[in-house]
Structure 1
Amino acid sequence: MKRLLFLFIVTVSVSGSHVTAQTTQTVATTNSTYANPLPVQFGDPYVLYTQGRYYMYGTGGGANKGFSAYSSTDMVNWKPEGQVYFHNNKNGWSDPNASWGGAYWAPEVYERNGKFYLFYSAQWKVNPTKEVENFRIGVAVADKPTGPFIDLTDKPVFDPGYPIIDANVFFDSNGKTYLYYSRCCYKHAVESEVANLARQKGWYKEIEESWVYGVELKPDFSGVIGQPLLLLRPPVSLSDKQSEWESRSVTAREVNRRWTEGSVTFKKDNTYYIMYSANHFGGQYYAIGYATSSSPLGPFKKAANNPVLQKNTDQGGSVTGTGHNSIAYSPDGKEMFCVYHARTQKTGDERVVCIDRMQVNNGILKILGPTTTPQKLPSGVKTAASTN
């Protein structure tokens, strides 16, 4: 939620773009540790690495009908770069007066051929049936990671006929590009054993679901190639091992929806990994799982060790609502990090950014979190004390 590293190309692609190994460098900072949450109030955080700096984009963060950004040399200490995308640019296609303030959500930025491309979700102003959720995905371009980003055209990338959010782009080693997105729950009631249970218990009359799709993207980002394929959805059967954790927002009576969203795709050792978030993004049960495939468009098999990141309050911790992640690498390229938003007892309902180490070995993905205790700085970051 990726062009993060340079020097020699490795076989990992994160959140949709080529990931190359970063040059080993010595970034000086005063502290030898960091602790979550970071001082950034973003939802859906996405990190881009380019030219020796990290740039973070996300939902909210003070942006007015658009998106803002932060920059960092060490992935720990961030400075604001101001608003980088404005809805009213010359090609703006969104409706800032629609529900949720236009719903400017989940920006992700990719570097291609010396340009920077921002994919995002927003309410489409073409709305003849006056849908409350009329989200589509757009793409804007800039010469710098700090913008200003201008929409490529005056319309979304494509219109599948239903509301979509959470764009993620993957650049495969064969030169093909893929767009992943989430179909929204809106007006998408799905029959399942969980839905039957909810009716029997008198919790809800129906359960709406969001599903993750993938489709090939045109090289110039002007549209898609072929028809989207369904890749991930909540389990239909209660006996499915994934059903318990992906249905918690329903069984806890938070909401009558089951989400599969916030996906991020990468490749390692010829295996495609797609990470995703399930449950209510505004609730305590928001959590991260993953699935694997031998193809970028599946079929994907969900992992037995899901969820790989979830709340820790039942173990005495203070973190809930862990989800919608992207992936980043340490300055020397040796460590992989999960960048996600969460809530803590101190921050309340405000979504804040956290980073925790993650590992992928022999097809098994693990996230070493959520943490709030002091952690070592990312490898390749040198402290002031160590340079004396």
Structure 2
Amino acid sequence: MNLKAKLVAALLLLGGALPHEAGAQNPFVQTCYTSDPAPMVHDGTLYVYTGHDEDKADFFWMQEWRVYSTKDMVNWTDHGSPLAIESFDWADDRAWAAQCIERNGKFYWYVCLHSKLSNTMAIGVAVGDSPVGPFKDAIGKPLHDGSWDYIDPTVYIDDDGRAYLYWGNPNIYYAELNEDMISLKGGVGKLEQTVESFGAPNPEKRVKGVKYKDTYTEGPWLHKREGKYYFLYAAGGVPEHIAYSMSDGPLGPWKYMGEIMPLQDTGSFTNHCGVIDYKGNSYFFYHTGKLPGGGGFGRSTAVEQFKYNADGTFPIINATREGVSPVGTLNPYERVEAETIAFSEGVKSEPNVKTGIYISEIHNGDY
């Protein structure tokens, strides 16, 4: 790391001495646009897998996925892009929402992207030996394709070892995964949406002019807590808010529970969430358009801490600039390179084959 980068790293560790908005942590990645966050905890570290919105984009022309990690919730290490469209020979565009999960010492990254084989969106899966890669296409073909609905996979491994995959916009599809995590066990199902389960019927059954309680749109997230299953999703069409349903089983029946994050003035007309517990706290990840130059096609990942209600339901969560409080500190006796950042402005991160991730585009006034 060169002297200039070392100076930047040292300044970043000063935290409150920097001239940014006092206490502001959101969005917590400022070196590029990141979207569709999917958190995962492994071996005491929290990882967040994101998409990458290109600068000055006029659509979701996305070419890669990125990984960030933290041990204290405020200092984030940029691990670059260990997976991209070019990792899949059968795909050519739209590296959209994804989620990574560990099983038996392997890390499985479920993605959606445009398939050259079917000329539709498809679900793919990559595998690696480390949470930060390298990753490679696990099967050399789509895990499932054939519809423009096939986006935004979410994956969950239940306590009994059975693994489930959900995806879809505006329909909701599901399948059980075999223990190898790279093949489907049986066929693909389609959830029957109803007013009771998701606030509205399936899209083809909705009556024009009828105002429903809510409408599932995309971006599902499945997790379990204290015996209850939670199915979170972007809802309401455009612009999107976050709503959820609950169940006693991983495949339902589901009951619509209401909104978690109502419409927010964040500059992004989409939203996409992920929920995780880490070091005794619960965290809600989402994206906004709050970075300079950001917006609907330039989104940035943010995080809020929350507490479940006494009955296990979600509270209302609003977007903040403050973000979350630290749950640890950096070790001053360990080498900390510039790609570990608490807050920055103006700089970018770039990959290098020999040195890994480095900080670039440093100008006067940047930090």
What's the TM-score, normalizing by structure 1? Answer: 0.67
* 1:235 paired residue among 200, 206, 209: 200
Tell me the SS of whatever aligns to 2:109. strand
Deviation at 1:164, TM superposition (A): 0.4
- Asked if 1:215 is matched to 2:175, the reply is yes
Pair 144,375 (structure 1): closer, same or farther in 2 beyond 3 Å: closer
Aligned to 2:127: 141
1:352 aligns with 2:321: no
Query: 2:72, 2:284 → 1: CA distance?
Result: 15
**Structure-2 residue corresponding to 1:369:** 318
How does 1:169-318 map onto structure 2 within 5 Å? 169-182=155-168, 184=169, 210-231=170-191, 233=193, 235-236=200-201, 243=212, 245-246=214-215, 260-280=217-237, 283=238, 285-303=239-257, 306-313=258-265
Equivalent residue for 1:167? 153
Aligned pair partner of 1:60 in 52, 57, 69: 52
Do the aligned residues in 2 keep the contact of 1:213 with 1:232 (CA within 8 Å)? Answer: no
Query: Alpha-carbon deviation of 1:125?
Result: 1.6
TM-align CA RMSD:
3.2
Between the aligned partners of 2:146 and 2:80, the Cα distance in structure 1 is 33
Aligned to 2:27: 37
Flag the 1:135–1:179 CA change in 2: closer, same or farther, 3 A: same
Note if contact 2:268-2:299 (Cα within 8 Å) is conserved in structure 1: no
Aligned partner letter, 1:38: F
Q: Percent identity?
A: 27
Hey, what does 1:150 align to over in structure 2?
136
For 1:216 and 1:94, how far apart are their aligned partners in 2?
Answer: 23
Query: Do the aligned residues in 2 keep the contact of 1:86 with 1:149 (CA within 8 Å)?
Result: no
Q: Where do 4+ consecutive residues of structure 1 move more than 6 Å?
A: 238-242
Find the aligned partners of 2:211 and 2:157 in 1 and give their Cα distance: 29
Does structure 1 conserve the Cα–Cα contact (< 8 Å) formed by 2:273 and 2:287?
A: yes
- Alpha-carbon distance in structure 1 between the residues aligned to 2:235 and 2:62: 28
Q: For residue 289 of structure 2, give the secondary structure of its aligned residue in structure 1.
A: strand
The total of aligned residue pairs comes to 295
Q: Normalising by the residue count of structure 2, what TM-score does the alignment of the two structures yield?
A: 0.71
Alpha-carbon shift at residue 94 of structure 1 (Å) = 3.1
Gaps of 5+ in 1: 1-27, 97-101, 185-209, 247-258
Q: How far does residue 300 in structure 1 lie from its aligned partner after superposition?
A: 0.6
Which protein has the bigger strand share? Answer: 1
Distance 2:176 2:259 in 1: 28
Q: In the alignment, does 2:90 pair up with 1:94?
A: yes
The one-letter amino acid of 1:355's match is V
Q: Residues 328 and 124 from structure 1, CA distance in 2 versus in 1: closer, same or farther, beyond 3 angstroms?
A: same
Q: Does 1:113 align with 2:82?
A: no
1:29 CA drift (Å):
8.6
Q: Distance in 2 between matches of 1:240 and 1:307?
A: 22
What's the CA shift for 1:365?
1.2
Unpaired runs of 5+ residues, structure 2, are 1-12, 17-21, 55-60, 194-198, 332-367
Q: Deviations over 1:308-327 (max 9, x none)?
A: 102344xxxx5654621111
* Counterpart amino acid of residue 189 in structure 2: L
Q: Deviations over 1:256-304 (max 9, x none)?
A: xxx5211111112221111011244xx5x2110000111111111111x
Q: Deviations over 1:203-234 (max 9, x none)?
A: xxxxxxx1122221111123222333333646
What is the one-letter code of the residue matched to 2:303? I
